[in-house]
Structure 1
Amino acid sequence: MSENKIKLRRVGIFSPQFEQPVTELIQEWFVPHGIEISPLEDNTGSKDDLDLVLSFGGDGTVLAALSFFP
């Protein structure tokens, strides 16, 4: 059986309300696996070369992330 794996190099974290604790927790897992974390606040931050955007918050946060990072 073949496995389809996605190679993540850079992950953006969109979490305006909880940025620091969430970013630190995510970094603890991703960084040792060689994945760069890019905190994103509102529509700031570099969107270039993001492989994945994680959004943490309520419905409004998810909708905002979708509008900034489609």
Structure 2
Amino acid sequence: MFQNSAARLLVPAIRSAMQSRCQSVVSGPPTQRVSTAEKVILGGGMCAASLCIPAWVLYHIRDYKGDK
């Protein structure tokens, strides 16, 4: 019986101590259109950036193996 009454008294204090999230997300169509040229340029840049290190390693594989 004491546990139930203690729990009823503690619940408001615990709820006020917990952090509450305040988020507001508005979904809908984009407000600014991204041009096709910008998409192509940025996509190409990301692809090139992700392929630079593997290309460098393949180009210098002989140096890594020690064959000269």
Q: What TM-score comes out, normalization by structure 2 length?
A: 0.22
Q: What TM-score comes out, normalization by structure 1 length?
A: 0.22
Higher strand fraction: Structure 1 or Structure 2? 1
**Greater RCO, CA 8 A, separation 6+:** 1
Higher helix fraction: Structure 1 or Structure 2? 2
Larger-Rg structure: 2
